[in-house]
Amino acid sequence: EVSDVSEVVEQVFDNFKMIHPDYVFILDDDVQRPVQAQIYRNHLEQILIILMDNAVKYSQTRKEVHMSYESDSRSLEVAVQDFGEGISQENRDRVFNRFYRVDKARSRTKGGNGLGLAIAKRLIEAYHGRITIESALGQGSVFRISLPILSDKDAQILTEKKEQAQAANDVPGIK
């Protein structure tokens, strides 16, 4: 599945703006459109929701979240930045483990199971992408995902292949 990334990013951005009116959301979308990546739309959406949800949850001191994306001919990068509590160096790898939460005592009040980032990482890696963290304790975090993207030609080839496969599978008279 090929998704228009700008559309998905903007949709998630608009939803968060609506759901959290007490936060300032800034979108840096200075790119040429459309940006196409080979990822199922719902998967990209889910990854972005997990990152945005965390950015909001863990930045109650400074309620500002930035989203940006950029691409060149080979890859696409989407970043979600908050200015909240940050993640210590030793916890930066652990947060991708299932059920790992930095502050265990908080689990009751803030909800969450420690699954979000484990899911996001699995999803992005299934598409040969990467997810990285840059963070400073007390200052905030940047989560970046990168994905290989398709040239127009590759996208066209892929669509044609899909159509051929579909045609080969179609048995006359059976839906």
Interface residue list for ligand ATP (CB under 6 A): 50, 54-55, 58, 82, 84-87, 95, 100-103, 112-118, 141
CB nearer to ligand ATP: pick between 113 and 132:
113
Give least dist CB 146 to ligand ATP, A. Answer: 18
CB nearer to ligand ATP: pick between 1 and 93:
93
Using CA atoms, how far apart are residues 86 and 139, in angstroms rounded to an integer? 6
Decide: 82 and 141 in contact? Cβ < 8 Å: yes
Give least dist CB 67 to ligand ATP, A. Answer: 13
Q: Which residues of 110-148 are buried (b: 16+ CB within 10 A; e: fewer)?
A: eeeebebbbebbebbeebebebebebeeeebbbbbbbbe
DSSP secondary structure, 78-128, as one string? EEEEE-SS---HHHHTGGGSTT--S-GGGHHHH---S-HHHHHHHHHHHTT
CB nearer to ligand ATP: pick between 114 and 148:
114
Give least dist CB 11 to ligand ATP, A. Answer: 20
The DSSP call for residue 149 is: B
CB nearer to ligand ATP: pick between 3 and 85:
85
Give least dist CB 74 to ligand ATP, A. Answer: 27
Decide: 69 and 143 in contact? Cβ < 8 Å: no
Give least dist CB 118 to ligand ATP, A. Answer: 6
CB nearer to ligand ATP: pick between 8 and 95:
95
